């Protein structure tokens, strides 16, 4: 099992209590605690998320696993991070932040963000992205990403990203307007 690790802000785990998960298909999830954890290893439960993602036609969790095992991307360079969302110790979401390889400026790239279909509409994805962006604000000036679905486009716009017209990115966020956490 993954243990939370302390990130640059000194916080290893962000626990969030959702007062109303009324969009949740499972009434037992109401008033449940969702934990966003900074992780350093692939969770064993990633295979269940991969299977679900493949069923929806998404292959990027498969790429995440392959890149992790090959060492091509482990979200471990300076400023990078890898986070997971858990509900009742069950992995329900994943996402990473890496240095954007397509630009030479101080830019991060949001990668491999996926939330289980049963947890969508409950602000899990938005909370995960918010945690990743907060981490990015510690080191980077902007964050970019690429999505190829209209649902992804709408989601990232709700998260505060702006559409951009680049070959290698569809959305960006300038972090200069984000309140940066103070280091202690």
CATH superfamily, domain 13-174, is Gcn5-related N-acetyltransferase (GNAT) (3.40.630.30)
Residues 6+ apart with CB under 8 A from 159: 126, 129, 130, 133
Residue-averaged pLDDT of the chain: 85
Q: What is the pLDDT of residue 61?
A: 98
The CA distances from residue 26 to 32, 120, 123, 161, in Å, are: 11, 12, 15, 30
- Please report which confidence band the pLDDT of residue 26 belongs to, taking 50, 70 and 90 as the band edges: low
Residue with tokens 């307007």: 177
For the cut 90, the answer to whether the pLDDT of residue 170 exceeds it is yes
Cβ contact 160:137 at 8 Å: no
For the cut 60, the answer to whether the pLDDT of residue 132 exceeds it is yes
- Residue 93's closest CA among 57, 43, 133? 43
Work out the percent of the chain whose per-residue pLDDT is above 90: 76
- Residue 57's closest CA among 3, 135, 117, 146? 117
Q: Where along the chain do its domains lie?
A: 13-174
pTM for this predicted structure: 0.81
Q: What is the pLDDT of residue 134?
A: 97
């Amino acid at each position: 099992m993954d243990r939370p690790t302390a990130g640059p802000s000194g916080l290893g785990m962000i626990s969030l209590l959702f007062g109303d998960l009324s969009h949740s298909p499972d009434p037992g999830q109401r008033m449940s605690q969702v934990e966003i954890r900074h992780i350093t290893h692939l969770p064993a439960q990633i295979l269940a998320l991969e299977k679900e993602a493949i069923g929806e036609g998404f292959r990027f969790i498969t790429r995440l696993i392959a890149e992790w095992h090959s060492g091509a991307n482990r979200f471990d360079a300076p400023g990078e991070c890898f986070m997971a969302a858990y509900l009742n110790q069950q992995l329900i979401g994943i996402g990473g932040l890496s240095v954007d390889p397509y630009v030479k400026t101080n830019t991060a790239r949001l990668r491999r963000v996926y939330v289980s279909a049963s947890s969508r509409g409950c602000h899990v994805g938005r909370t995960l992205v918010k945690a990743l962006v907060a981490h990015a604000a510690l080191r980077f000036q902007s964050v970019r990403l690429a999505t190829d679905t209209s649902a992804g486009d709408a989601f990232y716009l709700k998260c505060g990203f702006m559409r951009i017209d680049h070959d290698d990115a569809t959305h960006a966020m300038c972090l200069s307007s984000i309140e940066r956490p103070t280091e202690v």
